[in-house]
Structures are given as C-alpha cells and as structure tokens.
Amino acid sequence: MLTKRAFGPAGKTARVSPLGVAGSYGIDADGVERAFHELGVNYFFITSKNDGVLEGLRRLIKKGHREELVIAGGANVPTGFGVRSAIEKDLKRLGTDYIDVFQLFWVQYHWYVTGNTWPAMRKVQEAGRAKMLGMSIHDRKMARALVDELHVDMLMVRYNAAHRGAEAEIFATLDPKTRPAIVAYTATRWGKLLERASDLGPMTPEECYRFALSNASVDVVLSGPKNYAELEQNARGAELGPLPQERIDEVRAFGDVVRKGVSNLAFGG
C-alpha cells in the first residue's frame, strides 16, 4: 500500500498517495476501485471524458469514500463562464458537492488568468465548491511568477529525466514551508524514456516514477495507465522510494540524450 503524504499549503493540506491516476488512458472502473482499495491510490485527475476513472470515482463516492479521495478537475476555457461551467459539470458527473483540486488547464499566456477568470476561480473556492486552486502549465518562468501573483495552491508541471528545467526554475526557488503542492506529469516522456537511445537506457516504468519522486518538491506523479496491471507496476516503483544517487546520475545522462532527440534506431534499438 502506498504511504500517504502531505499535499498543499498550510490550512488546505490533504493526504495523498505519491502516485496519482489520470483519466483518458484506458483503465476501467474496476481498476480504479482496485487501485484505491489494494494499492492505496487516492489522487485522481479527471478529464472531460466519460471514462473508467470517472465511473470508478462515482462508485467509490456512492460507497462512502468521498472524504478519502483527492479528486482534481479543471477548466479548459480561460473565462469566468468557462470556470463556472466546468466545475458544475464536474460536480454533477461525479455526484459530489466539491472538488479537492480545481485547476485552470494548460495556461499558455498571462491573459488566461486575467479578466474574470481567476476571480471566478476564487469564487468557487470561497463557495466551498473547490478546496484548492491550481493550474497546469508548461512555461516554467510564468508558472513561478504566477505562484507569487496568484498564491496558487497547486502547480502541475512536466518533470522527468529528460525534462528537468523545473528543478532550477521552480522547485529550488520555492520556500518548502509555504510552497504550493507540486504534481508532476509525463514521467516516461510519452514512452521515450522506456526506449534505448544511443548506448544508454532505457529506464523501466518503475524507475521513471521513482525518478520524479526522488525530488523532495514533487508530491504526486501522475500515471496514465491503460489497465490495472500497468498501474500496479508503476505503484511498485512509487513504493520503492527515491532512486539511488548512482542510478539518478545514469538516468540524467540518458535523459539528456533523449532530450536531444538521438534516434534509438541508429543504434540497433
């Protein structure tokens, strides 16, 4: 069973599994229920798709497990109306009256949070419809600036052995006592870290999740499993804890090669 950890700034802190499950990748409702009961997974990221993650969460909520779950949802349209519409839709689909983490998806420009958008986010939080507010974002410099400007409760950022810019541009700049919760995604770099490149690698799925969780700033790393067996494999990595330093050095070197786009076909796979 995965050991729960603190997630979120003081006053809004939840207890979460270090491995989270993202919807839209194939795991069915039975797999979601098993993940919760057998692996201790309680962080679930829902999308607009009616899929196994959504149905599994509906079942768990109906069975009385709502307070044990940490559910993250969000709004795609960066307008006040888009925020209100998205959260009401999520609440209705889940059969609950609040979302644990409500985020603005894929913030690309500062104007995404201007006008009525962020005030609408604050209003749903003040109304008790969302416990924490956050955003997912690729632009690390803008992400860091928005932490100070908007006092977000959570940041969802790309972080893996090939994409490590968040270490210096975000993680190292945050006060450990006041920082927002950090959710990392693309742990396998869309599968590229699972393939050999040059004479280095590959990493195993377990190592990809262990690498992300080796950084003390990462609270949750997301997994997009096709089925329960894949999730169980990823959970084994999370249970093992941080990679040994020697292996971290090796996968960083491998990640640099993957990042540069060296073709693994040129070296016999």
pLDDT value at residue 149: 97
The DSSP result for 177-235, as a single string, is: TTPPEEEEE-TTTTTGGGS-BTTB----HHHHHHHHHHSTT--EEEE--SSHHHHHHHH
Say if CB 157 and CB 182 are below 8 A apart: yes
Q: Give me the mean pLDDT over the 171-184 stretch.
A: 95
pLDDT for 261: 83
Average pLDDT over residues 28-37: 98
pLDDT score of 198 = 85
Q: What is the mean pLDDT of residues 43-48?
A: 96
CATH number for 248: 3.20.20.100
3-state SS class at 20: strand
Q: What is the pLDDT of residue 265?
A: 37
Task: For 79-124, write each residue's pLDDT tens digit.
Answer: 999 999 999 999 999 999 999 999 999 999 999 999 999 999 999 9
Say how many domains are in the chain: 1
Q: Is the pLDDT of residue 263 over 60?
A: no
Share of the chain above pLDDT 90, in %: 92
Q: How far apart are CA 241 and CA 234, in angstroms?
A: 12
User: Is 268 a residue whose pLDDT tops 60?
Assistant: no
Q: How many CA atoms lie within 13 A of 220 on its CB side?
A: 32
Distance, in Å, from the CA atom of 242 to the CA atom of 182, rounded to the nearest integer, reads 16
Q: What's the pLDDT at 269?
A: 32
Q: Tell me, what's the pLDDT at 264?
A: 42
56-65 per-position pLDDT tens digit: 999 999 999 9
pLDDT above 90 (res 34): yes
Cα–Cα dist 127/84, whole Å = 12
Token pair of 137 as six digits: 């974002």
Q: 122 lies in which domain range?
A: 5-267
Residue-level pLDDT at 199: 85
CA distances from 216 to 6, 21, 176 (A): 12, 20, 9
Quote the CA–CA distance of 116 and 94 in Å, as a whole number. 26
Q: Are 203 and 254 in contact (CB under 8 A)?
A: yes
